[in-house]
């Protein structure tokens, strides 16, 4: 694992190893989408000296939320909640980026105060949102037909990203990652399966990417160079997503990302669809393409084991690897990889929502051995 445990840098930050915590929606906030003690503990457990953590997808407005008890970054309470997370993570010597997010048509009126979700075009996603029943339990709910954004509304959403970036900076984060993956609003604009607009934001890829790049301009104007990142899922279909020419779309986007002095680009490989593994041994490895197009630091994610991560870094296919599900159940994942220790299995039933069970009660390896 010598490559995984060699130093590297993202933007102006030096890192001591390359095992990154992937962004994971865990639906564990306090009321009002505010990070509380449980989230402070979760992130603290996964922080290591010289390591990098990426947060849960965090909504830039009330209308951006797809899942009940997902965090927000649009009020002072959100800022204060996140500040406690950031301070605790920094105290352990780790870096932390906030993933900022708008769900677009993946949002649900039950989570948005009854407001109809928005999208580039009025097209239905066949996925589900997570909502709270009257008895307090969490349920999956079918999505509803979104409303097509009027062109004059788009700058208002760009400004929501800018304002959230300001709050993230005030909370002390080391940077922000724009969530342009997994079927949410940026990707809904980017792919032609979900963007049927005929104005300046639809049609050719230059137009479909406009919303992403305008938002990037806004966020970089707040954060400056080397502190902003973008997550892409070129092979993703989650969210009923499709594109007639993914190669062309993602080549355009990746090459244009070179115009920004980004901290990194983060790419999800096709080994997973949402949270389910797919059989894709012979699947296209997108990070290798993105590597050719984008010249800055690259994080790869999606179905990696320690050995596969070591291999892709050794081959130069990526600089860092983000781990999702294995980091859920192994809070000390970097140390387990480093010392070749057995991994604890994860429990899917506790991924989303609930209490400390399946969230902060997975033991470290030392605790298992000593028990
Ligand atoms: C419970 C869960 C929640 C997730 N939430 C997010 C999220 O908020 N933002 C995001 O970009 N990806 C999210 N993902 C995708 C992960 O970041 C990651 O790409 C995926 O789990 C594949 O990596 P893995 O095979 O290491 O788990 C989520 C995945 C899981 C399992």
Q: Is residue 46 part of a domain?
A: yes
Question: Does residue 208 have its Cβ closer than 6 Å to ligand 1?
Answer: no
pLDDT of amino acid 236: 84
Write the pLDDT tens digit of every residue in 253-268: 999 999 999 999 999 9
pTM beyond 0.75, yes or no: yes
pLDDT of amino acid 120: 98
- What pairing do the DSSP bridges indicate for beta strands 8-10 and 13-15? antiparallel
Q: Is residue 165 part of a domain?
A: yes
Structure-block tokens of residue 249: 């779309």
Q: Is residue 283 part of a domain?
A: yes
- Nearest CA to 151 among 106, 203, 200? 200
Helix (H) or strand (E) holding 40: helix 37-46
pLDDT of amino acid 279: 55
Alpha-carbon span 229 to 364, nearest angstrom: 30
Question: Does residue 275 have its Cβ closer than 6 Å to ligand 1?
Answer: yes
Q: Is residue 211 part of a domain?
A: yes
Counting atoms of ligand 1 from 1, which one is nearest the CA of 275? 31
The CA 48 to ligand 1 mean position distance, Å, reads 20
Q: Where are the extended beta strands (E) located within 60-116?
A: 95-101
Alpha-carbon span 268 to 370, nearest angstrom: 36
Please answer whether residues 117 and 104 qualify as being in contact, where contact means their C-beta atoms are separated by less than 8 angstroms.
yes
- Nearest CA to 113 among 65, 185, 154? 65
CATH of the domain at 51: 3.20.20.70
Alpha-carbon span 297 to 309, nearest angstrom: 15
Q: Is residue 161 part of a domain?
A: yes
Please answer whether residues 298 and 287 qualify as being in contact, where contact means their C-beta atoms are separated by less than 8 angstroms.
yes
Q: Is residue 113 part of a domain?
A: yes
pLDDT of amino acid 270: 72
Alpha-carbon span 365 to 66, nearest angstrom: 34
Which structural domain range is residue 117 located in?
8-370
Please answer whether residues 334 and 52 qualify as being in contact, where contact means their C-beta atoms are separated by less than 8 angstroms.
no
**Closest residue CA from atom 18 of ligand 1:** 324
The CA 53 to ligand 1 mean position distance, Å, reads 13
Instruction: Please indicate whether residue 184 is annotated as part of the active site.
Output: yes
Residue bearing tokens 């609930």: 354
pLDDT of amino acid 258: 98
Alpha-carbon span 291 to 269, nearest angstrom: 13
Three-state SS at 167? helix
Please answer whether residues 60 and 102 qualify as being in contact, where contact means their C-beta atoms are separated by less than 8 angstroms.
yes
Q: Which residue among 237, 324, 350 is best mutated to probe the pocket of ligand 1, counting the most ligand atoms within 8 A of its Cβ?
A: 324
pLDDT of amino acid 272: 56
Alpha-carbon span 69 to 39, nearest angstrom: 12
Kindly give the parts of the chain with pLDDT less than 70. Answer: 271-284, 370-371
**Closest residue CA from atom 4 of ligand 1:** 24
The CA 324 to ligand 1 mean position distance, Å, reads 5
Distances (CA, A) of 330 to 325, 326, 335: 9, 6, 9
Please answer whether residues 129 and 140 qualify as being in contact, where contact means their C-beta atoms are separated by less than 8 angstroms.
yes
- Nearest CA to 122 among 186, 188, 182? 188
pLDDT of amino acid 26: 98
Alpha-carbon span 113 to 64, nearest angstrom: 11
Alpha-carbon span 7 to 51, nearest angstrom: 10
Q: Is residue 3 part of a domain?
A: no
Q: Write down the catalytic residue from 74, 184, 352, 359.
A: 184
Q: Which residue among 19, 24, 348 is best mutated to probe the pocket of ligand 1, counting the most ligand atoms within 8 A of its Cβ?
A: 24
pLDDT of amino acid 281: 54
Question: Does residue 22 have its Cβ closer than 6 Å to ligand 1?
Answer: yes
The Cβ of residue 159 has, within 10 Å, a number of other Cβ atoms equal to 15
**Closest residue CA from atom 22 of ligand 1:** 302
The CA 207 to ligand 1 mean position distance, Å, reads 28
Helices (H) and strands (E) in the chain, counts: 12, 16
Question: Does residue 59 have its Cβ closer than 6 Å to ligand 1?
Answer: no
Q: Is residue 2 part of a domain?
A: no
The number of domains in the chain is 1
């Amino acid at each position: 694992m010598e490559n995984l445990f060699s130093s590297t840098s993202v933007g102006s930050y030096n890192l001591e190893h390359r095992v990154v915590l992937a962004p994971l929606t865990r639906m564990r906030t306090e009321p009002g989408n505010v990070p509380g003690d449980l989230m402070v503990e979760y992130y603290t457990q996964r922080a290591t000296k010289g390591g990098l953590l990426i947060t849960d997808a965090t909504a830039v407005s009330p209308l951006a939320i797809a899942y009940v008890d997902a965090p927000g970054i649009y009020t002072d309470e959100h800022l204060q909640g996140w500040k406690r997370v950031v301070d605790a993570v920094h105290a352990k010597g780790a870096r932390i980026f906030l993933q900022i997010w708008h769900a677009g048509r993946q949002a649900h009126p039950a989570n948005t105060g009854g407001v109809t979700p928005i999208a580039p075009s009025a097209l239905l996603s066949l996925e589900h949102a997570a909502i709270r029943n009257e008895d307090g339990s969490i349920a999956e709910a079918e999505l509803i037909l979104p409303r097509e954004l009027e062109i004059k509304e788009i700058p208002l959403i760009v400004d929501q990203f800018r304002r959230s970036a300001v709050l993230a900076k005030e909370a002390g984060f080391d940077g922000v990652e724009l969530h342009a993956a997994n079927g949410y609003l940026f990707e809904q604009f980017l792919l032609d399966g979900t963007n049927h607009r005929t104005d300046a934001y639809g049609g050719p890829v230059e137009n479909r990417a406009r919303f992403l790049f305008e938002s990037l301009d806004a966020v970089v104007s707040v954060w400056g160079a080397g502190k902003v990142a973008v997550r892409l899922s070129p092979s993703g279909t989650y969210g009923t997503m499709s594109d007639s020419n993914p190669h062309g779309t993602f080549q355009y986007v990746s090459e244009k990302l070179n115009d920004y002095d980004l901290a990194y680009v983060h790419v999800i490989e096709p080994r997973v669809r949402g949270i389910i593994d797919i059989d894709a041994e012979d699947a296209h490895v997108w990070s290798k393409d993105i590597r050719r197009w984008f010249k800055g630091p690259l994080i790869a994610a999606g179905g990696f084991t320690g050995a596969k991560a070591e291999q892709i870094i050794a081959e130069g296919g990526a600089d860092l690897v983000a781990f999702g599900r294995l980091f859920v159940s192994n809070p000390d994942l970097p140390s387990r990889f480093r010392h070749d220790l057995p991994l604890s299995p994860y429990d899917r039933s506790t991924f989303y929502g609930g209490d400390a069970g399946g969230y902060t009660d997975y033991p470290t390896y030392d605790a298992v051995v000593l028990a």
